[in-house]
Amino acid sequence: MPDNDVIAAAKERLEQSGLPSTWLDIPVHWGVKAKEQATPENGGLRFQMLNVDVYGEVPEYWDNNTEIPRGAVPDTRTEQMGYSIFNKAEVWSDLCADLYEDAIADRWNSSADIPWDSLEPIGADLERAVCQIATLMSEYGWTKAQTTGRWLQEISYGYIEVKLFLGTVVFDAARMFEVWRKRALANGGGMGRGGRNWKFLPLTQSYTFSEFVVASIMHDSMLLTLLRRGEQLARTDAERRIYQLCEQDLERHLAYFVDHMRYLMLKEPVRREEIHRYMNKAEWYLAKDGDDTLYSALAVIMGDGREGAEEAMADVAELRREQIETYLGYLRQCHLADRQDRLNEELRKWAGMVELEEEEKIPV
């Protein structure tokens, strides 16, 4: 309970000195002691532990356009800060606070945590192929950081957990950019060819956060499938570790994107068709990008050189089929199982799926 005498004396001292004392009059939600839950066994003082009392009430609509912390008392003189997202369904996932802390707990350093001394000469074709893949990975890291970062200024403090987590996504993507650049420039190679990257336009052009999220689910799930093949693709322990660490980061990102989209579909099912349109666009750009450099480089690695690349294309095709399967699998988790029947025609071919007309004849 507040000690009124202590506060009254404090107010008097401040006022005598010409300092404002109104902050001492604020009715505090006193007695929140998050520290009591923090133990080494449960990961220390995690953000989720703060979400008690009024501070844990995440509103469906946040009506303040300033940087006011959730649970603080507003100062009505404060200018509006230009946020545009005030709707919980637009960004929320219950996983955010934990994913944020997990990202920090999983932090790694590309300078020191990769066994760079395990790199050894792997032959000219393979080095070219690894460097080509590294160049494209690096590009995606850059794009991911830029496109995620730009949403920060749109999201209000009401959904602070989301912003904290997106901060970790930006940082993870930075590391993805530089760890692959390091790989390209560490072992006697150099940078490869940049991607054509029409496929990334749905990320850069997105007008709504939901549009950004579905494009991210598509790109991240396809990349995750590739990273999971790291054991097969890596030629050294350094590369193996890069694949593992990037995979670990990307799994967190997808956990958020998927859980958020599931939340949106439950809260605002009326937006289903709109979301399908964003997927139509993302898939169309991916299908029409027409740049097979990544898959060709993978074929050289899987074929152990350019001579074996042609034969390895069957394995590469299987990998690409798995990528589409993974993408559709994540969409099923978002209550978007119907995407399977609406998948872009070109991507259906990549996945070896029966053509739509033929499939529609099958009574399931």
Site for another protein in 66-125 (CB under 8 A): 66-75, 77-79, 81-82, 100-101, 104-105, 107, 109-114, 116-117, 125
Number of residues that make up the chain: 364
The CB-of-349 to another protein minimum distance in angstroms stands at 4
Whole-number CA gyration radius for the chain: 25
Q: Is 231 in the site for another protein (CB under 8 A)?
A: no
# of chain residues touching another protein (CB under 8 A): 144
Q: Is 232 in the site for another protein (CB under 8 A)?
A: no
Q: Are 160 and 70 in contact (CB under 8 A)?
A: yes
Rule CB under 8 A: which of 270-299 touch another protein? Answer: 290-293, 295-297, 299
The CB-of-233 to another protein minimum distance in angstroms stands at 16
Q: Is 352 in the site for another protein (CB under 8 A)?
A: yes
**Which of residues 190 and 269 has its CB atom nearest to another protein in the complex?**
190
**Which of residues 99 and 275 has its CB atom nearest to another protein in the complex?**
99
Q: Is 353 in the site for another protein (CB under 8 A)?
A: yes
Q: Are 142 and 177 in contact (CB under 8 A)?
A: yes
Q: Are 141 and 249 in contact (CB under 8 A)?
A: no
Give the integer Cα–Cα distance in Å for 64 and 68: 8
**Which of residues 45 and 89 has its CB atom nearest to another protein in the complex?**
45
**Which of residues 64 and 210 has its CB atom nearest to another protein in the complex?**
64
**Which of residues 34 and 89 has its CB atom nearest to another protein in the complex?**
34
CA torsion angle for 341, 343, 347, 353 (degrees, to 10)?
A: 0
Q: Is 356 in the site for another protein (CB under 8 A)?
A: no
Q: Are 244 and 253 in contact (CB under 8 A)?
A: no
**Which of residues 279 and 299 has its CB atom nearest to another protein in the complex?**
299
Site string for another protein, 30-49 (x = CB under 8 A): xxxxxx--x-x--xxxxx--
Give the integer Cα–Cα distance in Å for 125 and 62: 55
**Which of residues 30 and 61 has its CB atom nearest to another protein in the complex?**
30
User: Which segment (240-248, 267-275, 303-311, 328-336) binds another protein by CB under 8 A?
Assistant: 303-311
Among 84, 89, 178, 230, binds another protein (CB under 8 A): 178
Give the integer Cα–Cα distance in Å for 156 and 92: 12
Identity at 112, one-letter amino acid code: A
Q: Is 6 in the site for another protein (CB under 8 A)?
A: yes
**Which of residues 49 and 264 has its CB atom nearest to another protein in the complex?**
49
How buried is residue 27: exposed, middle or buried, by Cβ count under 10 Å (0-12/13-18/19+)? Answer: exposed
Q: Is 28 in the site for another protein (CB under 8 A)?
A: yes
Residue among 167, 134, 139 at smallest CA distance from 243: 134
At 155, give phi and psi (nearest 5°): -100, 130
Residue carrying structure tokens 């993870």: 172
**Tokens (6 digits) for 290:** 């027409």
Among 58, 89, 171, 265, binds another protein (CB under 8 A): 171
Among 170, 208, 251, 276, binds another protein (CB under 8 A): 170
**Which of residues 110 and 275 has its CB atom nearest to another protein in the complex?**
110
Rule CB under 8 A: which of 195-214 touch another protein? Answer: 195-198, 200-201, 204
Measured CA angle at 110 (ends 179, 181), to 5 deg: 20
**Tokens (6 digits) for 309:** 């690349």
Q: Is 337 in the site for another protein (CB under 8 A)?
A: no
Rule CB under 8 A: which of 127-166 touch another protein? Answer: 128-129, 132, 135, 138-140, 142-143, 145-147, 149-153, 157, 160, 163-164
Instruction: Tell me the three state secondary structure of residue 155.
Output: strand
Instruction: Tell me the three state secondary structure of residue 61.
Output: strand
Q: Are 219 and 140 in contact (CB under 8 A)?
A: yes
